[in-house]
Structure 1
Amino acid sequence: MPREVEYEPVSVKELLAEMKDTAELLIDLSYSAVLLRSDTVAEEVIDLESRMDVLQLRARMGLLMAARNPEDAEALAPVLGVVGAAEKISDAAGDIAKVVLEDIGLPEAMRAALPESVETLVRAAVESESGLAGRTLGDLNLETETGVRVIAVRRSGDWLTDPDADTVLEPGDVVLLRGPEDGVAEVYEDLCGAAYEPPDPPVESSADLDRAMDSVVLMKDISELAVDLAYGAVLFDDDGLAEEVLELEAEVDALQSRFEAWTLRAAAEVDDPVSLRGLVHLAAATEVISDAALEISEGVLRGLGTHPVIQEAVLESDEILARYGVAAGSRLDGATLGDVAVKTETGMRVIAVRRGDGSRAPSGKETGWVVSPGPGTRLHADDVLIAKGTRAGAERLAELTD
């Protein structure tokens, strides 16, 4: 039964930061539940979804108490949009989890399409005999040593969604690990004392079904990118980023249309068309996430600007967004992201690059935004990077751009 919620004075900034962290965690967990066919992970999603319901109610109450006149209402409207968007993401993640919990039909081959898109995420219990128990995350330095990050800790029924270097791993804690499979397997065994077992390889499927599943994966990747860019748009009050979110949302809509056509064609080729229901649920929920991204950036798109409380909340969230200009003569000037191994060296993921002023660009250099750049993306002086990761990683990235 839903718990009762009453008004109490709260920091809206802290609530928004927690909602952002929880929404991003929910996206990871929900798709991992599908990948691993794990009821346990799916149940964690449902628990977090319930927690998000309480957070959004408290945030709305706080915002209503803060609006004293029409000017306040106009300034706070984008904040309400961010609150509503986080709740949409939470609901969509819950719908994805129910595909697993309610045994809604899903092609076994779907698990073949997800691993390249979903970084390995595993739920592990901290055993009392573990050599990692009783130590802080800063002392363990897992991210540098193994590439694995503890993204959340559940302790005595409560979630800590922003563990930091001072967080101590205690026996009985349930931690969520994210990173490369080799690193996750190593840390999992150190925590649990048991070997990590990856999911079995799936069976082959038809060409039309493959296209439908690839569309869902692409929709997922674009939707997640849109959420990241949307938070970047409100953090930096950047019209260009907000317009990129609008284009990405339209791209997801187009992909969903193609997905529907391929799924209907595939239904004629499978023995049990009902087994495709889960795929339809995944696509619908993923499209909702892209809609939520657009809702986050809508205040910027409509000229309402960004309320300072949103900017402060994004800066205080677990995974931060950082913006750096590439200085002339820096290690990144003239190099590709792969040349410098930015992700490996800093742990930061560059999600967008804004090209410098075209009047100063070398011959053939493009201008405007490059969304989701890859290892082959070459950088130049005056380019601006938008990257996502930890605060320590942001400091390392700053050194590469100076």
Structure 2
Amino acid sequence: NLQIIQTQTGGFKEAKALEPIVVMGYSIDKISDALADIARVVYINSDISDFTQLFWDDVPEPIVKITVNDNCEFIGMNRKEIHFRSKYGVDVIAIKRKDEWIFKKDNEIQIGDILIIKGEMEPIKELKKLTLDTEDFSFQIDDEKKDSEFDLTNPEVFDKILEFKKDYILITDISETMIELALAALFFNSYEVAEDVIEMESLMDGLNIIFEKDLLSLTQSLDNPRILTGIMRIIFSCELIADAAAHLAENILEGFEPHIILQKAIEETPEIVVRETISTESYLKEKTYKQLQNQQYKRGFHIIALKRENKWIYSFKSDFIFKVGDLLIGLGPKETVDQWRSCVNPEFSKEER
């Protein structure tokens, strides 16, 4: 990378400063290729839905489409100024306007815009009401269940599927979390977050080996083992994503400083990643995940991951209880970061005074 950059004017010093940008671009390209492979697998393998439909209830933050209808209060408002995460508890990943995909946050919401939303189901339902969208949820996020090709009446198949369900969700959660944390570590030059990513990558390697062995074992119990092909491809792509994210984190640990391009991006991004530990005085201690969806505690922040002693937790059921000593990694708006940190650890606000 350095040799390629050095062919440009500016000499070794400027070339060295640009190296993290090239590394980031290379890693993000690898991540996007892996994500495209996952999309391609899902598109050409209808059998994937037979597997994934078995655990919709365990997906912590589904992604759905919501259409903006006439008389919606968001029409004419700038997307960036609406503060979807802090006010409504959801993220707008993108907007589809006719044949155009819009990712920038400085666009005004228009009638007919399709919002690609990520969040917990309850906030999504509330936002759906505000947009006056009366259509059923897209992406099959609803109560309707399709018949599965997996014979769940077979005890052997049922037990293995339950184990797969846990490992599959964990692997996909880890890879998604690693992307968020690796980019955050790079943007904010966070050594601690970078170390978290490397630790997760080691866990990912072990999980992949176990999952692939169990998947091959399951083929002996199925009449049509080819339906597992797509699942194996998805897990392989998740491993590529984890490797690319770890590569980004390694550059932070090697001492790369944020280039001016990254510094500019940091200034413009509306969100931030924060690490904070639940203290004995925390408002979050002994509360369930469902209770923490209240904006009084949430403050627009989404808990990406939690570390309890030596165990990482990436998704949370509604009855999950937060404990003193839990290390939280949260993603949320800059304008409420101090409020959120004070909820997690009231000592933070005292130290700031």
- TM beyond 0.5: yes
> 110, 124, 130: which one pairs with 1:170?
110
Change (3 A) 1:239 1:159: same
> 148, 154, 176: which one pairs with 2:96?
154
Once residues 269 and 370 of structure 1 are traced to their aligned partners in structure 2, the CA distance between those partners, rounded to angstroms, is: 32
Report whether the alignment pairs 1:337 with 2:280. Answer: no
Change (3 A) 1:394 1:68: same
**Counterpart in the other structure of 1:211:** 163
Cα offset, 1:338, TM superposition: 4.2
> What RMSD in Å do the two structures reach over aligned CA positions?
3.8
Report whether the alignment pairs 1:201 with 2:145. Answer: yes
Answer whether contact 1:114 1:217 (CA < 8 A) is retained. Answer: no
> 64, 75, 78: which one pairs with 2:20?
78
**Counterpart in the other structure of 1:233:** 185
* C-alpha distance after superposition, 1:5-56 (max 9, x if no partner): xxxxxxxxxxxxxxxxxxxxxxxxxxxxxxxxxxxxxxxxxxxxxxxxxxxx
Once residues 81 and 252 of structure 2 are traced to their aligned partners in structure 1, the CA distance between those partners, rounded to angstroms, is: 41
* C-alpha distance after superposition, 1:207-238 (max 9, x if no partner): 22332343221111112222233234334434
Cα offset, 1:308, TM superposition: 4.5
3-state SS of paired residue (1:321)? strand
Once residues 90 and 266 of structure 1 are traced to their aligned partners in structure 2, the CA distance between those partners, rounded to angstroms, is: 30
> 376, 388, 395: which one pairs with 2:331?
388
> 86, 94, 108: which one pairs with 2:36?
94
* C-alpha distance after superposition, 1:121-167 (max 9, x if no partner): 21122233545434455886655665334332233544332436xx5
Answer whether contact 2:64 2:116 (CA < 8 A) is retained. Answer: yes
Cα offset, 1:115, TM superposition: 4.3
Once residues 375 and 315 of structure 1 are traced to their aligned partners in structure 2, the CA distance between those partners, rounded to angstroms, is: 35
Ranges in structure 2 where 5+ consecutive residues have no aligned partner: none
Q: Structure 1-normalised TM-score?
A: 0.66
3-state SS of paired residue (1:265)? helix
Answer whether contact 2:6 2:12 (CA < 8 A) is retained. Answer: no
Tell me which amino acid in the other structure corresponds to 1:191.
T
**Counterpart in the other structure of 1:347:** 300
Change (3 A) 1:232 1:66: farther
Ranges in structure 1 where 5+ consecutive residues have no aligned partner: 1-59, 327-331, 356-365
Answer whether contact 1:153 1:159 (CA < 8 A) is retained. Answer: yes
Cα offset, 1:305, TM superposition: 4.2
Report whether the alignment pairs 1:317 with 2:317. Answer: no
Once residues 128 and 314 of structure 1 are traced to their aligned partners in structure 2, the CA distance between those partners, rounded to angstroms, is: 35
* C-alpha distance after superposition, 1:301-352 (max 9, x if no partner): 33344434334424533532246799xxxxx553263457666421213456
Cα offset, 1:117, TM superposition: 3.3
Tell me which amino acid in the other structure corresponds to 1:335.
S
Cα offset, 1:262, TM superposition: 0.9
**Counterpart in the other structure of 1:127:** 69
What is the count of residue pairs matched by the alignment? Answer: 321
Tell me which amino acid in the other structure corresponds to 2:340.
L
3-state SS of paired residue (1:150)? strand
Once residues 297 and 141 of structure 1 are traced to their aligned partners in structure 2, the CA distance between those partners, rounded to angstroms, is: 29
3-state SS of paired residue (1:108)? helix
